[in-house]
Amino acid sequence: MKPGRVDAIVDLAYGVMIVVAVVLMVAVGGQVGLAFGLGVLISYAIHVVWKMARFDPKWMTREVEKTIEDTVEDAVGETVQESVEEAVEDAVEDTVEEAAGDGKRRGQQSPGEPAGN
């Protein structure tokens, strides 16, 4: 048999087991059906993890790497942007102040001053 077909049959079997758990909850009693259903769901979760590991062994590593990469990128991007904005703003202010101070010291006329001072 092909692995894909086997996996489909197993998934269908888990679905049938969940339906049986619901029927047991209604027919026999809540505790028996609930215990059976919980067991089926836990075993299905284990089956899904096993299946993912079998078909694509690096899937969990990729998902964790992607999550970490996105988180770090967002945090670092914001921090770097704020730092660069502050540094550029300070540098521009210093340069403008120096240029304005040099012009007045050399006796140059400021744009708003009347001529002849």
The residues, ordered by sequence, that sit 6+ positions from 49 with a Cβ below 8 Å of its Cβ are none
Number of C-beta neighbours around residue 10 at 10 A: 13
Whether the predicted pLDDT of 106 surpasses 60: no
Confidence of residue 108 (pLDDT cuts 50, 70, 90): low
- pLDDT tens figures, 6-35: 778 888 888 888 888 888 778 887 787 788
What are the phi and psi torsion angles at 111 (to 5°)? -55, -30
Closest by CA to 37, choosing from 28, 49, 8, 9, is 28
Q: What pLDDT sits at residue 102? A: 67
- pLDDT tens figures, 60-100: 678 788 888 888 888 887 788 888 888 888 888 888 888 87
SS (H, E, C) 2-29: CHHHHHHHHHHHHHHHHHHHHHHHHHCC
